[in-house]
Structure 1
Amino acid sequence: IGVNSALRIEDLAQLKVDDNLLRGYLYTREMKTGKEQSFEMNDQLAKDIKEYIKRNNLYTGEYLFQSGKGKNKPITRQNAYIRLRNYADEVGVRYPIGCHSMRKFFARNYYEKTGDILTLQKMLNHSSYIVTLRYICWDDHAQIARKETYI
């Protein structure tokens, strides 16, 4: 979900199984900004989430990502980081990765594929497109590389 939604780990941790999620819609209030985010998920992500819910025997009202400490407690940022690092190690990722990497990965890839900085700005709830460009580390060198990639 992290690489397909641009949500922060704090927001992912608060997701609960509900009718909207099961119908392929994601609604959340961002912990950092208090702003609401809502969108329809693509078919593959919705399918993956349904399979995850079924595989983990989750029910309506339960946290999607639970901590290892007791039933129906949200995963902590620290625990999510440890799990993500373990998964990355299992599949051979050898570069630094953290929970926020998922959001940045989404943002950078979205911009490289679409070039639509204004929509990305809105998705990330940034105050300006300049903030968004800085966030994805976009500079003149990246612009040149992008141009060469699409030639």
Structure 2
Amino acid sequence: MRVEPIKDKDIIRRMLEYLGKKNPRNKVLFAIGIYTGLRISDILKIKVDDIYCRNSIQVKQKKTRFYVYIPVNKELKKIIKQYVEANNLSKHDYLIKSREGINKPITRNQAYNILNEAAEYLGLDSNIGTHSLRKTAGLNLYLASGKDIGLVMQVLGQKDPGSTLRYIGVTDMDIDKCVRKLSYL
């Protein structure tokens, strides 16, 4: 199944709100994904000390083995600060901590189920999965940067502009809509 980015900012806000009410940890999971563009495998290994009260996060990516340095957005910083302080987490705790075992992160399957439950609750009919977070971050970075595909490629570690555009969901339909809006008269 190919997952899609969440393109509607109102849906993103509603997803954050729903996840926060259901379980604040799940809101943090979602927020880290949409603000950093990290893969779920990298999000789940983050410990409190890696990101709490920091201006950037350094992560050795599981897939590529390369280090990435990502600024921590002020909104994300606030979400994390509230969560860590409300749950009295120590600096050695996993941020996305499972209720099972002692100081273990949730599994990828749990993360997938959390996101799918929220998507179902909100009535989303598109394919939502853990990779949707990364694609959502990429799409919104693309739009926020004035459509600087090079910047998005660098953040996501992509090598080809065309595949990056497809990856973040800039589809033929979007291109068709844009071309139809062109006017020189």
Q: Give the Cα–Cα distance (whole angstroms) in 2 for the partners of residues 53 and 145 of structure 1.
A: 44
Number of paired residues? 148
Aligned partner of 1:53 in structure 2 is 84
1:125-144 aligned within 5 A: 125-144=157-176
CA deviation string 1:65-87 (max 9, x = no partner)? 01231121011100111122233
- State the identity as a percent: 36
Aligned partner of 1:99 in structure 2 is 130
Which structure 1 segments of 5+ residues have no match? none
Of 64, 67, 78, the match for 2:109 = 78
Q: Give the Cα–Cα distance (whole angstroms) in 2 for the partners of residues 19 and 32 of structure 1.
A: 19
Runs of 4+ in structure 1 deviating by more than 4 angstroms, as ranges, are none
Of 113-122 and 139-148, deviating more is: 139-148
Aligned partner of 2:155 in structure 1 is 123
Structure 1 residues 84 and 126 mapped into 2: Cα distance closer, same or farther (>3 Å)? Answer: same
What is the DSSP-based 3-state SS (H/G/I as helix, E as strand, rest coil) of the residue aligned with 2:131?
A: helix
Q: Give the Cα–Cα distance (whole angstroms) in 1 for the partners of residues 54 and 138 of structure 2.
A: 25
Structure 1 residues 122 and 19 mapped into 2: Cα distance closer, same or farther (>3 Å)? Answer: closer
Structure 1 residues 71 and 87 mapped into 2: Cα distance closer, same or farther (>3 Å)? Answer: farther
Q: Give the Cα–Cα distance (whole angstroms) in 2 for the partners of residues 82 and 66 of structure 1.
A: 15
What is the DSSP-based 3-state SS (H/G/I as helix, E as strand, rest coil) of the residue aligned with 2:52?
A: helix
Question: Does the CA contact (< 8 Å) of 1:67 and 1:79 recur in 2?
Answer: no
Structure 1 residues 63 and 133 mapped into 2: Cα distance closer, same or farther (>3 Å)? Answer: same
Of 94-103 and 19-28, deviating more is: 19-28
TM-score (norm 1): 0.85
Question: Does the CA contact (< 8 Å) of 1:6 and 1:124 recur in 2?
Answer: yes
**Which structure has more RCO (C-alpha within 8 Å, separation ≥ 6)?**
2
Structure 1 residues 127 and 60 mapped into 2: Cα distance closer, same or farther (>3 Å)? Answer: same
Structure 1 residues 87 and 134 mapped into 2: Cα distance closer, same or farther (>3 Å)? Answer: closer
Q: Which amino acid aligns with 1:46?
A: K
Structure 1 residues 58 and 45 mapped into 2: Cα distance closer, same or farther (>3 Å)? Answer: same
Q: Give the Cα–Cα distance (whole angstroms) in 1 for the partners of residues 34 and 113 of structure 2.
A: 17
Which structure 2 segments of 5+ residues have no match? 1-31
Structure 1 residues 86 and 141 mapped into 2: Cα distance closer, same or farther (>3 Å)? Answer: closer
Q: Give the Cα–Cα distance (whole angstroms) in 2 for the partners of residues 59 and 29 of structure 1.
A: 22
Q: Give the Cα–Cα distance (whole angstroms) in 1 for the partners of residues 103 and 152 of structure 2.
A: 33
Q: Give the Cα–Cα distance (whole angstroms) in 1 for the partners of residues 166 and 63 of structure 2.
A: 19
